[in-house]
Amino acid sequence: MTNTFYTTGYDAVVVGAGHAGCEAALALARTGIKTAMLTLNLDSIAFMACNPSIGGTAKGHLVREIDALGGEMDINADKTALQVRMLNTGKGAAVQSLRSQSDKNAYHARMKKVLENTENLDILQSEATEVLTENGKVTGVKTAFGEIIRARAVVLATGVYLKGEIVAGEYKQSSGPNGFAPANLLTQNLIELGFNVRRFKTGTPARVDGRTIDYSKLEIQNGDTDIYPFSFLSKRVPQKQRPCYLTYTNEKTHAVIRANLHRSPLYAGVIKGTGPRYCPSIEDKVVRFADKERHQLFFEPECAGSNEVYVQGMSSSLPHDVQREMYRTVAGLEHVKIMRYAYAIEYDCIDTLDVYPTLEFKKVEGLYTAGQINGTSGYEEAAAQGLVAGLNASLTLRGKEPLILRRDQAYIGGLIGDLVTKGTNEPYRMMTSRAEYRIRLRQDNADFRLTELGYKAGLASAARYKKMLARKREVEGILQELDARLSPKEAEGFLREHGFENLFGGISYADMIRRAIDPAEIVRRFGILKGRARADIETAVIDVKYEGYIRRETELIEKAKALEDKKLPADIDYEKIDGLRLEARQKLNKIRPENLGQAGRISGVNPADIAVLMVYLSLKHA
């Protein structure tokens, strides 16, 4: 039995030091809150347990929004990038996303250094076993060593460590990712506090020895050196980058998997947790998509100083002997040596319908949750939640209004809105299709949308805010330059070359862009936009090109705001409102939406129920 001893002097405690915990701790400390961050192992700070990358489709939007608000993930990704690419360049600007390959060791080391040198922040290697409360309010955290750390706010960012179990074939072990120790003692306390705890699953592929890969059989995938970086504070992406490689599974691979499905814990019933639909294991792909002849594999370097290569697309929980046979059926991997075998990991998480949009737990004042404990998957989703949870805890402690991002303001708003309004029955992944207003919520304009909010909340620095204002003026200047009109005589030759004739009256450069003429050609022909930054030109051009769509989205947002502005009383008893269906009453009483807009997004609440609520509100205020 451990002796109890007390630690005071902190206002907040962050439990966990993954991507959510790092952003939460920094948001608290940088806004003047004395903070303690607990981690099971200092070596796991900002650890990339899965793929060594930041960003990707929709995730790149989240990362740029984190940066715009004053977070650290973007700067860390830029400083430790091995390769950077812009995804979906063949599609519209709304779905283009940055993705970088990170040196995972450097990413961990730099983030650890940033945390260690942040004022108001102390890091402690210790396991939290209990969140302490009095009269429904947080009072601190108790550790496995008997230490009681007094605090007025706690952020739980426990990742996949809660009762974590590693599974590979017949092998099962209590463990966190990559052999780190699990956190086995906190779950029971969360249940006692009133959380609804569920069991989710995720997984990771093998890491192989790059010296045993035949790269001549793979397709090389180089990065981009002429694109903007993640952070609005970074100057440019690395000009010297490392390649990635592409290959595919084949029928031999699939035959090995099918012959060993009886040994798969996923299909043998050993794994009970719900896995991610959008990132299935290779055995799940072979079963679910039996008509596909091959599945894409992407080879990513783990770090600059290692031979380890991450095989994205081949996540598995099959036994080690089957994995070795399976991997060696792939072109280029005929003689591959596995350094770390693939595995699945099961862990405890909570039902986010019990959480406010601030990410505060509804049943305990001052207790916040962020990251995979909230049922999400991905570093980026975790970091976004960590920043919001940490910043809201700070705002509350400072007596200020919370930061609740709307769906029309940020991808982060959509992410958190989905979690607290709809909940999730599987690991949640952000996608561009989840954002109704994605033409406005582009990654290139994240600073214009969010930096002022971050600055007013005390997180984004004055220098960052000043830079955003300067860039905004620059983009406005570019738009004015593009609005300059040419006479028919000045423009007719150029337009005729592009298939446009019979020009009557003048035409602006913006009109040419709307006619799908390449802006680069316009710049070369007429010598405009001299000295303008490429990223600023890109933002202005996108605004011009999608002006009509942006206007339409703005109109939809204004209509939606009419419902968002209709607040629902916090003490309303939906069971007593005549006309509401039984399911709607139950869901509304559980989730306690703040306004009609949120109520309308609840699964099981239909337009007729919203109409009943509108009548109720009108009679209440009559």
Q: How far apart are CA 243 and CA 247, in angstroms?
A: 14
Q: Where in the chain is the domain with CATH 1.10.10.1800?
A: 462-555
Average pLDDT, the chain: 94
CB 445 within 8 A of CB 539: yes
CA-derived radius of gyration, the chain:
26
Using CA atoms, how far apart are residues 524 and 221, in angstroms rounded to an integer? 30
Report the alpha-carbon distance of residue 508 to residue 63 in Å, rounded: 35
115-119, 202-206, 452-456, 486-490: which has the minimum mean pLDDT? 486-490
User: How many angstroms separate the CA atoms of 194 and 350, rounded?
Assistant: 10
- Which tokens is 80 given? 């430790």
CATH topology of domain 565-620: DNA polymerase; domain 1 (1.10.150)
Confidence of residue 1 (pLDDT cuts 50, 70, 90): low
Cα dihedral: 374, 380, 386, 387 (round 10): -140
Give the integer Cα–Cα distance in Å for 467 and 469: 5
**pLDDT for the residue numbered 604:** 87
Q: pLDDT grade, residue 298 (50/70/90)?
A: very high
Classify domain 462-555 by CATH architecture. Orthogonal Bundle (1.10)
Question: What CATH fold (topology level) applies to the domain 5-201+348-456?
Answer: FAD/NAD(P)-binding domain (3.50.50)
Identify whether the C-beta of residue 438 lies closer than 8 Å to the C-beta of residue 432: yes
- pLDDT above 80 for 621: no
pLDDT per residue over 193-251, tens digit each?
999 999 999 999 999 999 999 999 999 999 999 999 999 999 999 999 999 999 999 99
Mean pLDDT of 590-610: 90
pLDDT at residue 95 is higher than 60: yes
Q: Smallest Cα–Cα separation from 543: which of 497, 474, 597?
A: 474
Is residue 329 predicted with pLDDT exceeding 80? Answer: yes
Residue 274 pLDDT class (50, 70, 90 cuts):
confident
Give the DSSP H/E element, type plus range, for residue 128. strand 128-134
Count the neighbouring beta carbons within 10 Å of the beta carbon of residue 410.
28
pLDDT of residue 622: 54
Lowest average pLDDT, out of 138-142, 159-163, 357-361, 551-555, goes to 551-555
- Give the residues across from 99 on adjacent strands: 55, 85
Q: Is 63 in contact with 378 (CB distance < 8 Å)?
A: no
Specify the domain boundaries for CATH 1.10.150.570 within the chain: 565-620
HSE of 553, CA atoms in CB hemisphere, 13 A? 18
Under 8 Å CB-to-CB from 345, ≥6 apart: which residues?
A: 160, 164, 165, 166, 167, 175, 176, 177, 201, 202, 203, 204
The structure tokens listed for 591 are 């989730």
CA distance 169 to 344: 9
pLDDT > 90? residue 349: yes
What angle (nearest 5°) sits at the alpha carbon of residue 260, between those of residues 179 and 298? 60
Give residue-wise pLDDT tens across range 26-54. 999 999 999 999 999 999 999 999 999 99
Cα 398 to Cα 379: distance, rounded to the nearest angstrom: 28
The first and second tokens of residue 610, run together, are 């919203």
Q: Give mean pLDDT, residues 131-151.
A: 97
* Residue that the structure tokens 């920043």 belong to: 387
CA pair distance 307, 378, nearest whole angstrom:
24
**How far is C-alpha 475 from the chain's CA centre?**
27
Domain with CATH 3.50.50.60 in the chain: 5-201+348-456
